[in-house]
Amino acid sequence: MKVNRRRRDKGFTLIEILIVVIIIGLLASLVGPKLFSKVSGARQKSAKAQIELFGTALDAFRLDTGRYPTTEEGLKALREKPSAAEQWQGPYLPKEIPMDPWNKPYVYRCPGDHGEYDLISFGLDGVEGGDGENTDIVSWKDAAK
């Protein structure tokens, strides 16, 4: 009886600990990739939502001033009054202009190639075009896609 009691009091064996570590590693290898794929989709949805918010603010700017901000004035015109905007009633955004979810600035062009203005996030790679997380998020495509 004493031998069994002493063995129990010593704790886990190295083999038991290794088995637990292997099980945890297997679980992480199965769950990890699925979680990281969700992060990519969440960033793209966040960029689409921010572009829609900018679009609403740009429309309010246009209602007040009769025009969209120029490319030179940029999105900054939604927070600070441009010198050429007499009827400016802003700020049109409650906070500073954020970077896109990949920590790069949004690209704003007015007049745009696809509408009165173009608003773009170039995705993870920061250059035009790409697939997956490198896909461009743009103002002229349906946000539901």
Look at residue 57 in the predicted model and tell me its pLDDT.
93
Residue 68 maps to a domain: yes
Residue 51 maps to a domain: yes
Residue 82 maps to a domain: yes
pTM higher than 0.75 for the full model? no
Q: Give the number of domains in the chain.
A: 1
Residue 84 maps to a domain: yes
Range of the domain at 117: 44-138
Look at residue 60 in the predicted model and tell me its pLDDT.
92
Residue 38 maps to a domain: no
Taking alpha carbons only, the member of 49, 120, 57, 66 closest to residue 94 is 57
Residue 52 maps to a domain: yes
Residue 92 maps to a domain: yes
Mean pLDDT by 10 residues, the chain (145 residues): 56 84 84 68 88 92 92 92 86 90 93 91 83 84 55
Look at residue 121 in the predicted model and tell me its pLDDT.
92
| CATH, residue 51 | 3.30.700.10
Q: How far is CA 129 from CA 15, 18, 93, 122, in A?
A: 51, 46, 29, 7
